[in-house]
Amino acid sequence: MRIVCLAPEIIPIINDLNAINSVVGGVYYGGKWKFKRVGTYIKCDREEIRALKPDIIFTSTYVQSHMARELASEGFNVVHFNPLSLSDIPLTIKTVGEIIGRIREAEVIINNWYDTLEEISSMSADVGGVRVYFEEWDDPPISCVRWVSEGIELAGGVDIFRDLRKEKAEDRVVNVREVVRRKPEVIFVSWCGKRFKKEKIMKREGWEDIPAVKEGRIFRIEPEYILQPNHKVLIGIKKIQRVLMEVSHACC
Do 236 and 146 belong together in one domain?
A: yes
Residue 180 neighbours by CB distance under 10 Å: 17
Residue 122 lies in a domain: yes
Residue 110 lies in a domain: no
Q: What is the pLDDT of residue 249?
A: 75
Distance, in Å, from the CA atom of 186 to the CA atom of 219, rounded to the nearest integer, reads: 8
**Is residue 216 left, alpha or beta, with left meaning phi > 0 and alpha meaning psi from -120 to 50?**
left
Distance, in Å, from the CA atom of 229 to the CA atom of 89, rounded to the nearest integer, reads: 6
Give buried/exposed letters for 82-118 (b at 16+ CB in 10 A, else e): bbbebeebbebbeebbebbebeebbeebbeebeeebe
Q: Number of structural domains, the chain?
A: 2
Distance, in Å, from the CA atom of 184 to the CA atom of 207, rounded to the nearest integer, reads: 10
Do 236 and 147 belong together in one domain?
A: yes
What pLDDT, in 10s, does the model give residues 15-26? 999 999 999 999
Residue 42 belongs to domain with CATH number: 3.40.50.1980
Q: What is the pLDDT of residue 31?
A: 63
CA distances to 28, 189, 228 from 31, in Å: 7, 24, 17
Determine whether 42 is exposed, middle or buried from the number of CB atoms within 10 Å of its CB (0-12, 13-18, 19+).
Answer: exposed
Residue 146 lies in a domain: yes
Do 138 and 242 belong together in one domain?
A: yes
Last residue of a domain, one of 81, 98, 132: 81
User: CA 64, 66, 72 angle in degrees (round to 5)?
Assistant: 100
Distance, in Å, from the CA atom of 134 to the CA atom of 141, rounded to the nearest integer, reads: 10
Last residue of a domain, one of 81, 105, 136: 81
User: CA 12, 13, 18 angle in degrees (round to 5)?
Assistant: 95
Last residue of a domain, one of 61, 81, 101: 81
Domain limits at 56? 1-81
Residue 88 lies in a domain: no
Distance, in Å, from the CA atom of 234 to the CA atom of 225, rounded to the nearest integer, reads: 7
User: CA 110, 111, 115 angle in degrees (round to 5)?
Assistant: 115
Residue 43 lies in a domain: yes
**Is residue 62 left, alpha or beta, with left meaning phi > 0 and alpha meaning psi from -120 to 50?**
alpha
Do 145 and 70 belong together in one domain?
A: no
Residue 112 lies in a domain: no
* pLDDT tens for each residue of the chain, 252 residues long: 999 999 999 999 999 999 999 999 998 766 677 899 998 888 999 999 999 999 999 999 999 999 999 999 999 999 999 999 999 999 999 999 999 999 999 999 999 999 999 999 999 988 889 999 999 999 999 999 999 999 999 999 999 999 999 889 999 999 999 999 999 999 999 998 888 888 888 889 899 999 999 999 999 999 999 999 999 999 999 999 999 999 887 765
